[in-house]
Amino acid sequence: MKTSNKPSYHHGDLKNALIEAALAHIARDGARALSLREVARTAGVSHTASYRHFRSKESLLAAIAEQGFRRLGDMMRVAMQQHSNDPLAMLRASGVAYVEFGVRYPDHLQIMFSGLIGRHDDYPELKNAAQEAYELLASSVRSAMQAGLVSGPSELIVSLASWAQVHGLALLIAGGQVARHLTESFSAADLAFQVTGLLQQGIAMVPTRGARKSTLPANRKRRTRSDRSRASR
């Protein structure tokens, strides 16, 4: 009786094997060069076998993105639970966890926000995972605002500011940009803790200002008034 040298997968294992193979390809060649056929070959199965789990490259990317959002949510949740009685510390911890996730799983982060997945509505599990992760960040902002510890135009604006800060920092660290400017060693968590602290200094206990009346700098506005005064003489 002939035996096959190809790896065999028990029920439920092939999907994860394909995801891991895809991540290896993405780390080496980037997401845009990903080929479902090559992924199947790396996993040691036929293209037909992979098709049972992923009918297209996009569906495979959606599975990777979903896995990423799940992991991100888990890391944020664990970090936040350690500060459940301190809304500001909880907000900061969620940001640090976000950065740590991005640095630990840079290929997931790339897929999650790459724009290569057309419509999240076509992948309900991905959509739910992404919403749950965002809601963790938003809930920490909400708690801090309700406690009167954070001020801002709205929960959405403060959430977006917090998200943009930690997402940008994660990309910079993962892409090696930050290391070029450091003169001493810092962990991703240390950097994230210090950077998120700067944002909190700006939004904590600061009264909300009204809408801006002008986008001109103060010196520009003074010159404008002076010009008007001279013109009226």
Output the CA–CA distances (angstroms, integers) from residue 212 to 153, 180, 208, 209, in the order listed.
Answer: 12, 38, 12, 8
Q: What is the pTM of this model?
A: 0.78
The Cα–Cα gap between 76 and 104 comes to 13
Q: Classify residue 48 by burial, with Cβ atoms within 10 Å: 0-12, 13-18, 19+.
A: exposed
The Cα–Cα gap between 190 and 176 comes to 16
Beta bridge partners of 150: 204
Which range (71-85, 125-139, 150-164, 193-207) has the least confidence?
A: 193-207
Please tell me the predicted confidence (pLDDT) of residue 204: 62
The Cα–Cα gap between 21 and 110 comes to 16
Contact 65, 108 (CB under 8 A): yes
Per-residue model confidence as pLDDT tens digits over 55-83: 899 999 999 999 999 999 999 999 999 99
Per-residue model confidence as pLDDT tens digits over 180-194: 887 677 789 988 998
Contact 102, 174 (CB under 8 A): yes
Q: Which of 205, 183, 186, 185 is nearest to 195 (CA)?
A: 186
Per-residue model confidence as pLDDT tens digits over 97-149: 999 999 999 999 999 998 899 888 899 999 999 999 999 999 999 999 999 99
The Cα–Cα gap between 135 and 113 comes to 17
The Cα–Cα gap between 221 and 231 comes to 15
Please tell me the predicted confidence (pLDDT) of residue 231: 45
Please tell me the predicted confidence (pLDDT) of residue 203: 67
Residue 200: pLDDT band (50, 70, 90) is confident
Q: Which of 139, 128, 134, 150 is nearest to 67 (CA)?
A: 128
CB contact set of 46 (below 8 Å; sequence gap of 6+) = 40
Contact 198, 161 (CB under 8 A): no
Q: Classify residue 161 by burial, with Cβ atoms within 10 Å: 0-12, 13-18, 19+.
A: middle
Contact 60, 130 (CB under 8 A): no
Contact 136, 77 (CB under 8 A): yes
